[in-house]
Chain A
């Protein structure tokens, strides 16, 4: 049994991504929690930003990767690309859910409410729904080739839809709640920027590392499945021969 060359490459290089993520996140956590001053307006709570914003950014990058991978799959029909797509969808869903969760925790002390129908929160919720729908769709298709194809179609349509959803929700918000809470006016001072950059790079590296591990997992699962199926059919054939 041979392992796909891409997976062998991933196996060789994933350690660098993992340790890079650990270093960046370690530095980011140190700077964010201990090394940086509290914000003048928000006080200590601003430290939640260092975990919330990187999670949100990374999940958006993940969804972009999912859409590009899906296009690639529809073009080349390479099963390993499909394994990558499935992996990146699950990870994006987890990152989106955590971004929403940390956002809610941030909202409680700053705006005194766990949830507000803010444009960004709402579009992230829709994003999460699309990703969960993608993962559900994949579990409901029997044929692996069809599963990959249908998933890719949904991912691409969702990717095109996402900016439109965001715009429509934003217009809708400004219509109903002009005093909508916005962070746009607040400029981020350099003291806050350094830990944010470290955490963002660290999160992206962590995402890449997790993506590599999960792609491997799905690939090996498929490999073992195919292997077992082949053994089983061989076994049955030999039975029927004798």
Chain B
């Protein structure tokens, strides 16, 4: 029985290590700020901001240049976008903006737009697929071990 738990402990550790590594791999893509944080913390350098394009504020000047207001939970952020012509820049669309915060002009200078990644679905699917299988297998394997031990123990009553 000790061997059995040791083996499953090993499986558990490997699984946890794998989950942590995968999370680290995707962390850069997952992390993003909301407009309120940008205004308060005034980060320097490249940041990723998550928000929704406020209705009625989008003005496209030419392909690849636009201004709009990004709506967060309880703050808005004026945005000036200049970069590759965006495919999915529409009003009321939830986006991730990549760019820098210009503290002097109080405008976010965006240079790229990413759609909101749906890693939640992927993580959900993998957990739903593998976790029940692992639990099921663990329960079965444990029961088999118990049964073998019970059979060994019942040798007392064995007829010759």
What is the interface of chain A, defined by CB distance below 8 A to chain B? 1, 22, 26, 29-30, 33-34, 43-45, 47-48, 51-52, 55, 94, 98, 101-102, 105-106, 108-109, 206, 209-210, 213-214, 216-217, 220-221, 223-224, 227, 231
What is the interface of chain B, defined by CB distance below 8 A to chain A? 11, 14, 18, 21-22, 25, 115, 117-119, 121-122, 124-126, 128-130, 132-133, 136-137, 140-141, 143-144, 147-148, 150-151, 154-155, 157-158
Q: Which residue of B lies closest to A50 (CB)?
A: B126
Nearest-Cβ distance from residue B37 to partner chain A, whole angstroms: 24
> Which residue of A55, A106, A221 is within 8 Å of B147 (Cβ)?
A221
Starting from the known contacts A55-B129, A213-B137, 19 additional A-B residue pairs (CB-CB under 8 Å) come to A22-B11, A33-B25, A33-B122, A44-B118, A44-B119, A45-B121, A48-B126, A52-B125, A94-B133, A106-B125, A109-B118, A206-B137, A209-B137, A210-B136, A213-B141, A213-B144, A216-B144, A217-B143, A227-B154
Pairs of residues from A and B, 7 with the lowest C-beta to C-beta distance, nearest first: A220-B147, A51-B129, A48-B125, A105-B125, A102-B125, A109-B118, A213-B140
Q: Which residue of B lies closest to A213 (CB)?
A: B140
A223 to B158 Cα, complex, angstroms: 13
> Which residue of B117, B126, B154 is within 8 Å of A51 (Cβ)?
B126
> Which residue of A1, A105, A217 is within 8 Å of B121 (Cβ)?
A105
Residues of A within 8 Å of B148, CB to CB, are 220
Residues of A within 8 Å of B117, CB to CB, are 43-44
Residues of B within 8 Å of A47, CB to CB, are 122
Q: Which residue of A lies closest to B126 (CB)?
A: A51
Nearest-Cβ distance from residue B109 to partner chain A, whole angstroms: 26
Residues of A within 8 Å of B136, CB to CB, are 94, 210
Residues of A within 8 Å of B25, CB to CB, are 33-34
Nearest-Cβ distance from residue A230 to partner chain B, whole angstroms: 9
Interface contact B22-A33, CB-CB below 8 Å: yes
A177 to B104 Cα, complex, angstroms: 56
Say whether, besides A22-B11, A44-B118, A220-B151, A98 and B144 are in contact (CB < 8 Å): no
Q: Which DSSP category, helix, strand, loop or mixed, fits chain A's interface?
A: helix
Say whether, besides A105-B128, A214-B140, A223-B151, A44 and B133 are in contact (CB < 8 Å): no
> Which residue of B119, B151, B155 is within 8 Å of A224 (Cβ)?
B151
Interface contact A29-B18, CB-CB below 8 Å: yes
Residues of A within 8 Å of B147, CB to CB, are 217, 220-221, 224
Q: Which of B115, B129, B133, B157 has the most CB of A within 10 A?
A: B129
Interface contact B122-A98, CB-CB below 8 Å: no
Give 10 A-B contacts (CB < 8 Å), ordered by A residue: A22-B11, A26-B18, A44-B117, A94-B132, A94-B133, A106-B121, A109-B121, A210-B133, A227-B154, A231-B157
Residues of A within 8 Å of B130, CB to CB, are 51
Nearest-Cβ distance from residue B12 to partner chain A, whole angstroms: 12
Interface contact B137-A105, CB-CB below 8 Å: no
Residues of A within 8 Å of B11, CB to CB, are 22
Residues of A within 8 Å of B122, CB to CB, are 33, 44-45, 47-48
A1 to B18 Cα, complex, angstroms: 43
Q: Which residue of A lies closest to B152 (CB)?
A: A1
Interface contact A1-B151, CB-CB below 8 Å: yes
